[in-house]
Structure 1
Amino acid sequence: MTHDDTTGYHPLARAFHWLVAVLVFAVWPLGAVIEYVKDDAKTSFYLWHESLGFTVLWLMLARLCVRFLTRRPPRPAMPRWQAGLADSVQWALYLALIAMPISGFLATNAHGFPLEWFGLLPVWSPIGKAPDLAPVLSSIHGWISWTILALVITHVLGALYHRIWRHDDLLSRML
């Protein structure tokens, strides 16, 4: 997979980045409000939350493949600690955005609700109903959700810092 543009990420990397971002901004609030939704609407909320979350998993795996198969454009000059922080946040986001749907998928199954992706495709699970494991997986899922929120805020603030304060081209690499 080659790409000649020396100023930006590969078009597939950009597409995966923004598609995952849009889905995270849809999935996260859906999950956050489920407990406040009337019982007759909860099933629909869960269907969309779980199906979109499962989609994020596969998009993130594809995104990682693109990441490893394409080169990263050079970043603007910055202190080593800042580059290290940026890399740490990016890799933590990758890890969290893969672990999150896996933990949610397993928690749902452990609670006794197998995933049917968008109500169309049953998805095999390595665990069945496991009432003792379900709360642990749900707790992990919840903690990862707050971790993702913190990482996304840090990521966005970093991008804004480069755009508004430093006036460099860091953000344009992903646009």
Structure 2
Amino acid sequence: MNTGSNTQHYHPAIKTFHWLVAVLVFAVWPLGFLLGMVKSGFHNDFFFWHASLGFTILWLMLARLCVRFLSDTPAKPSSMPGWLESAAHLNQWLLYLALITQPVIGFLLASAGSGQFVWFGVIPIPSPLGKAPTIAPTLAELHEFFAWVILVLVGLHICGALYHRVICRDDTLARMT
């Protein structure tokens, strides 16, 4: 999978995972936010899609990391200041961490009451904790915290992409498209 050190674009699989996760995050985040506001008749539908798509993000992120470690990363623009490169790198890895941690917490939260989670209503995934209703409130708080962390990190990521596209007018964004 190594494409050489002079690669100008991310591996096609990384691009695919990036955009799939982006679409899912922009679907899952509002669904989760609305869970507390919807009437009880629709709550289960919102929860079903939020939890199933959220768990899908976990697997896409794990696959993305595998490809990421097995392929080269395009070089940053030479005009990019070191501090900005470090900030972008930190944001990227914090986003990876949050997008893996969040679905794990969500999975544990979803299965805390019943002892298992059923992915898309078809695949039962047993909880490593079993039934754990006493820790559900803590998991819910962590899940909400990471939702806001992801929102901030994604916002910074988008600002960085726009900065490169509009202000710097370099090809940073083209590496992922």
Superposition pairs for residues 99-138 of structure 1, below 5 Å? 99-112=101-114, 114-138=116-140
Long gaps (5+) in structure 2: none
Cα shift at 1:95: 0.1
2:102–2:146 CA contact under 8 A, matched in 1: yes
In the alignment, which residue of structure 2 is the partner of 1:97? 99
SS in 1 for 2:116: coil
Cα shift at 1:113: 6.5
Aligned residue identity for 1:76: P
User: Aligned partners of 1:92, 1:11: CA distance in 2, in Å?
Assistant: 22
Aligned residue identity for 1:23: L
* TM-score normalised by length of structure 1: 0.96
Superposition pairs for residues 17-166 of structure 1, below 5 Å? 17-77=18-78, 78-112=80-114, 114-166=116-168
User: Aligned partners of 2:132, 2:38: CA distance in 1, in Å?
Assistant: 25
User: Aligned partners of 1:104, 1:88: CA distance in 2, in Å?
Assistant: 24
User: Aligned partners of 1:151, 1:91: CA distance in 2, in Å?
Assistant: 10
Long gaps (5+) in structure 1: none
SS in 2 for 1:123: strand
Q: What do the CA deviations read for 1:43-94 (whole angstroms, capped 9, x no partner)? A: 1111110000000000000000000000001110211100000000000000
Cα shift at 1:112: 3.3
In the alignment, which residue of structure 2 is the partner of 1:6? 7
2:115–2:132 CA contact under 8 A, matched in 1: no
User: Aligned partners of 1:12, 1:162: CA distance in 2, in Å?
Assistant: 23
SS in 2 for 1:53: helix
2:112–2:127 CA contact under 8 A, matched in 1: no
User: Aligned partners of 2:145, 2:101: CA distance in 1, in Å?
Assistant: 11
CA RMSD in angstroms, aligned pairs only: 1.2
Work out the percentage of aligned pairs sharing the same amino acid.
Answer: 54
